[in-house]
Amino acid sequence: MADVIVKMEGISKTFGGIKALNNVHLELQAGEVHALMGENGAGKSTLMKILTGVYSKEAGHVYLRNEETGSLDEVEMKSVLMGLQNGLCMVFQELNLLDNMTVAENIYLGREPIDGPYMLNRKELNDRAREQLKKVKLNVDPNMPLSGLSPAEKQCVEIAKALSFDSRVIIFDEPTSSLSASETKTLFSIINELKSQGRCIVYISHRMEEVFEICDRITVFRNGEYVDTKKAKETNEAGLIKLMIGRDLEGEPNQGSEFVNRNNVVLEVKNVKIFPDSKPVSLKLYEKEILGMFGLVGAGRTELSRIIFGIDGISEGEIYIKGKKVDIKSPKDAIDAGIGLVPEDRKGLGLVLGMSIKDNMLISKLRQLKSAFLKKEELKSITGTYTSDLSIKMGNENQEVKELSGGNQQKVVIAKWLAMEPDILIMDEPTRGIDVGAKSEIYDIMKKLAGQGKSIIMISSEMEEIQKVSDRVMVLHAGSVTGELDIKEANKNNIMQAAFGGVGNE
């Protein structure tokens, strides 16, 4: 195995008590395109960030090939710069580029050619940049500001930057999610050329077709653990999905709630377009139902919820609530129509962190109160009800909400919506970043709410959560519905297949 250039062994990493990586290993070879696959949160990106020095590892060893002696030497990657100097580069989606600077400045940021002690040699800078741009077949003036480039062109600039470090390993994280078909083709030809130069390309993607088109080997992760490495030629889509979701069954199967009232459609979405070029989406939500909405990153689940809740305008299609057409232009309209939304970004969109628990719980309720004057007893009885119903653990309700744990913060967000008594509750990743105990409490709350007559749409990236809580599962892929399954027939296999766009459909 002379051409192994990176070897990672026993890598572990924990984020806030949750094991993101557990004793993971990986081997990368020169001249290969190596795919990393797995569900959201399987640990692919985290592992690559450890390799390139973005994160530090908690345990394990990283070995890099010494190009002179050909031996594998252990390296402690302390910073991104150190990673770059060792020929390891991760191409993020536009994240590492500065829009206000020129293409050339971006490529050589911090390494600009200098005349004398301080003077920037712009001609030399542009000449060098032009050379790198040629390698990625990007025909733009290195002196133009980056903001003038398309997302695909920016990505090429990122690659040019990687090449300017003469990187041996170039990592792409979901590189095609913002690219058109023809741009994807160009990217693939660049990747193939890089590969023929003996570089190693790591390709992180959810898109099966692409992985099978350009990758040589595929490593699968699940829940932060290494599962297997396969040659692309020796496996197929079904085989990979099986590896990704595992075979282990846990707990008793969820049969769905018997109380779902199929005769009463509470919310109906008709022909709504999530993305400008995606197929229109329609869905029905029944009384007392928990509809699980599954999909991979970029499937358009959050976008759909934003449209229903009036954050983003609706370009096409209609929304009906209890059979009546509604025109929702703002969250205020949505709330008046009886919709609540527990957002994925709890701290940024769900809470005003510097305000008290009490004020956060009441902020949406206030406008339903008759009097503009705040009556202490009335408010106290509202907050008291939900604090005890949801068993929120806190010192007192005048505490700032930022002092609470993630689980209790989430309960405050839920309480905020329950206080205004919505019929429909959309919950976007309701248990993200919450510990296991609080998770099951939140599941219980959701089931109780549905039992009490509310209808819930639960957006989730966690397969187990979807299977455990939903009465019905809806799967999105690239902005369109690729699967709708009753919970009794939903299993990891058919959910995952739908999430990848439906095997056999393509």
Partner 1 sequence: MNREKVKIGALRELLLVIILIVMCIVWTIMNKNFATVNNVMNILRVASYTAIASVGMTMIIIIGEIDLSAGSLVCVSGLSAALIVKGTNNIVLGIIAALVIGALVGLFNGVVCAIGKLPGFIATLASMTILRGIAYIITGGNSVVWTNQMFSKIGTGYVGPIPVPVLIMIVVVIFGVILTTKIRFGRYIYAVGGNSNASRWSGISVEKVKIIVYVIMGVLTSIAGLIITTRLGSGQPSAGTGFEMDCITAVVVGGTSMAGGKGKVMGTIVGVLLIATLTNGMTLVGIDTYWQQVIKGAIIVVAVLIDSKGKSAN
Residues that bind partner 1 (CB under 8 A): 309, 311, 330-332, 334-336, 341, 343, 348-355, 359, 362-364, 366-367, 369, 372-374, 395-396, 398-400, 403, 416
Give the nearest distance from C-beta 166 to partner 1 in angstroms. Answer: 43
Give the nearest distance from C-beta 424 to partner 1 in angstroms. Answer: 14
Give the nearest distance from C-beta 397 to partner 1 in angstroms. Answer: 10
The CA-CA-CA angle for residues 292, 297, 299, to 5°, reads 65
Buried b (16+ CB within 10 A) or exposed e, 14-24: eeeeeebbbeb
Q: Smaller CB distance to partner 1: residue 134 or 329?
A: 329
Give the nearest distance from C-beta 368 to partner 1 in angstroms. Answer: 10
- State the CB neighbour count (10 A cutoff) for residue 62: 22
The CA-CA-CA angle for residues 268, 270, 271, to 5°, reads 155
Q: Smaller CB distance to partner 1: residue 364 or 461?
A: 364
Do 219 and 36 contact (CB within 8 A), yes or no?
yes
- Residue 426 has phi, psi (to 5 degrees) of -100, 125
CA end-to-end distance (rounded Å), the chain = 37
Q: Smaller CB distance to partner 1: residue 4 or 353?
A: 353
Q: Smaller CB distance to partner 1: residue 231 or 332?
A: 332
CA 284 to chain CA centroid, nearest Å: 25
Token reading at 311: 């954050």
Token reading at 297: 């990153």
DSSP 8-state symbol, 52: T
Give the nearest distance from C-beta 335 to partner 1 in angstroms. Answer: 4
Give the nearest distance from C-beta 321 to partner 1 in angstroms. Answer: 16
Q: Smaller CB distance to partner 1: residue 72 or 369?
A: 369
User: Exposed (0-12), middle (13-18) or buried (19+): which is 492, by Cβ within 10 Å?
Assistant: buried
Give the nearest distance from C-beta 327 to partner 1 in angstroms. Answer: 16
Q: Smaller CB distance to partner 1: residue 219 or 302?
A: 302
Do 415 and 390 contact (CB within 8 A), yes or no?
yes
Q: Smaller CB distance to partner 1: residue 37 or 335?
A: 335
In Å, how far are 281, 351, 427, 468 from 292, measured between CA atoms?
A: 15, 24, 10, 10
In Å, how far are 199, 314, 333, 399, 457 from 342, measured between CA atoms?
A: 45, 20, 16, 21, 10
The DSSP annotation for 66-80 comes to -TTT--EEE----SH
Give the nearest distance from C-beta 378 to partner 1 in angstroms. Answer: 12
Q: Smaller CB distance to partner 1: residue 224 or 343?
A: 343
Give the nearest distance from C-beta 362 to partner 1 in angstroms. Answer: 7
Give the nearest distance from C-beta 348 to partner 1 in angstroms. Answer: 6
Give the nearest distance from C-beta 64 to partner 1 in angstroms. Answer: 42
Do 95 and 176 contact (CB within 8 A), yes or no?
no
How many whole angstroms separate alpha carbon 75 and alpha carbon 27? 15
CA 428 to chain CA centroid, nearest Å: 12
Q: Smaller CB distance to partner 1: residue 133 or 339?
A: 339
Q: Smaller CB distance to partner 1: residue 52 or 305?
A: 305
In Å, how far are 87, 157, 162 from 128, measured between CA atoms?
A: 18, 13, 13
- State the CB neighbour count (10 A cutoff) for residue 255: 9
Q: Smaller CB distance to partner 1: residue 291 or 341?
A: 341
CA 463 to chain CA centroid, nearest Å: 14
In Å, how far are 219, 337, 414 from 288, measured between CA atoms?
A: 41, 17, 17
Q: Smaller CB distance to partner 1: residue 298 or 343?
A: 343
Give the nearest distance from C-beta 388 to partner 1 in angstroms. Answer: 19
